[in-house]
Structure 1
């Protein structure tokens, strides 16, 4: 790892402070202005409509973006550790294609947009996305005959992703009226995240973070190679399977609530490794924090750039994440030449 010598605890503190700042900023970005927020913080009477917008729209959206980013960052760190590949991302096992197919099938049946639903219909769409992502990962594991062979698992994930992606395209071809609504899901959005979704993501984040943190020794062993990990007396097959289940749970939950958001899970662990030298005990926690900061920053930028309209946050993360990886590749090429 190419860390700069920064202590992990200092980076964690910096990410925490930056997260708090972004959460406060997220409460004030919008048409009602900052005046209502200052009045609320100063315990002065505020416009009831403005306060309702802050409480029921901005705060859950901002909190949801932070939580979804944390889930994707954590899932990216787990994926890169399990596959011992710095280019692994949370969607590697076909979960993105599975979620898209699940949403496409649900929308074809319901005939509605995933981000215009309320109540049970909204839960039906997000549930379909989660079930589709989980089913895709399960199918990948079946085709790979377990999780003991990482190369077979990677190839199976590619095959499942391509096949399920083709199936989603077929559903869109047969029901073209859902194409515009599907585009909203494919590009990613945090605009319709509510407090119930935030509670769900917070609960899943707590479970996945604690479970993966307890398995950080397994990831450290895998980083040194299969033989080294086995020499530590670790039952690799069941533990790797458990890590993949945690990866799928985190990814499926974030995708179900916010759609497909690119590069956050891939870039967050890279950024952490470029700043600190840390074992997975710290890397998992810091990657979650970095992913949260990245997605929340992108969400605020997407809301501000062309206000009062907004860009799909998934498009912005793809542009920024792709630019970062290109810059990283260029820097490494320059270092190799010199």
Structure 2
């Protein structure tokens, strides 16, 4: 014991260095390159989308030169230019443009939904189909085709798919809820079980369907934008805009949720309410996309991965960036589907799966090598 009342260990112990205080200048220095990178990436994606859209509306069995496309667009906007001939105007405005706009909306919806799912579950393998949205929508569409329902005319399949997709998500959420809370593992396992049940229902409906219905069901499940019209664009537009506008508002809370549920709660995030809202947003985006385009895979899974590799895990860019990236990928894929084997057309869902599957496998191998394994 020393004269000051300290123990010998305390007296002889080296003085502890004061905890370093964060340097605001250094923080700003780190943030600037990240912001510049995300701004550059956003500009590149937007430019790519514009170029692909212009190429897509001009390419096909009836070719339209880029100058004529720009002239017709300027004429419709009242900025000069000149209209095309009657056939060219009809092809451009009634066939090509609705298809490109629908592809943009569907791709943006699937990409944004994928980013939300991965952020909500904290799992890079999550995608909208995990909680049964796609399979539920497929049940509604297949049932309406197999039983010859036509109470809404040409809209019957779309409405049935959309309603069944939303109902499936609500069913998954209710079944996985216990004690006022919903755990991620329970939600995923319930989604797997509901997906299996939906697959069995689809098989049962296929058993009772006739040959004409079987052909229609097959083409719907393969995914396509071939039946795009302005009416379908207007049908999906409110759902897509609502989901795409609401999703970025929860970016900061998703960043906090990435720290874990308990830390997020301590930082003021109502995790259960956040999960409910995001499940509804994902259901709205995915059900609308699947209802008008059929089942299109890998867009919601791969795009958030690529952007996370390029710009980091921050959801302030990842959520809107995934929407923009999804639009780019789907417009490009639809252009390829129409032109690679022209005059025939590849199913869009098949093309995205053929390209997305090996690419995602490469991504998994690359990530595993960098981390030295998954354990």
Q: Fold-level match, TM-score > 0.5?
A: yes
Q: 1:1-338 maps to which residues of 2 (within 5 A)?
A: 7-35=37-65, 37=69, 40=72, 43-110=81-148, 120-145=152-177, 148-177=182-211, 178-335=213-370
**Compared CA separation, residues 161 and 250, structure 1 to 2 (3 A):** same
CA distance in 1 between counterparts of 2:372 and 2:175 reads 42
Gaps of 5+ in 1: 113-118
How far did residue 45 of structure 1 move?
A: 4.9
Corresponding residue of 2:4: none
Larger Rg: 2
- After superposition, the C-alpha distances for 1:244-290 in whole angstroms (9 at most, x for unaligned) are 00010000000001000010010110111111125212110000001
SS of structure 2 residue aligned to 1:172: helix
Give the length in aligned residue pairs: 330
CA distance in 2 between counterparts of 1:4 and 1:237 reads 31
Output the TM-score relative to the length of structure 1: 0.92
CA distance in 2 between counterparts of 1:247 and 1:334 reads 31
Q: 2:107, 2:327 within 8 Å by CA — same for their partners in 1?
A: yes
Q: 2:64, 2:88 within 8 Å by CA — same for their partners in 1?
A: no
Q: 2:103, 2:225 within 8 Å by CA — same for their partners in 1?
A: yes
**Compared CA separation, residues 281 and 181, structure 1 to 2 (3 A):** same
- After superposition, the C-alpha distances for 1:117-167 in whole angstroms (9 at most, x for unaligned) are xx9422111000001111111111121026621100000000000001101
Q: 2:159, 2:291 within 8 Å by CA — same for their partners in 1?
A: yes
Greater relative contact order: 1 or 2 (C-alpha under 8 angstroms, separation 6 or more)?
A: 1
Runs of 4+ that moved beyond 6 A: 3-6
Output the TM-score relative to the length of structure 2: 0.83
CA distance in 2 between counterparts of 1:105 and 1:124 reads 11
> CA RMSD for the aligned pairs?
2.1
Gaps of 5+ in 2: 1-32, 75-80
Corresponding residue of 2:22: none
- After superposition, the C-alpha distances for 1:45-82 in whole angstroms (9 at most, x for unaligned) are 52201210110011000111111000000000010011
**Compared CA separation, residues 41 and 204, structure 1 to 2 (3 A):** closer
**Compared CA separation, residues 335 and 278, structure 1 to 2 (3 A):** closer
CA distance in 2 between counterparts of 1:95 and 1:6 reads 36
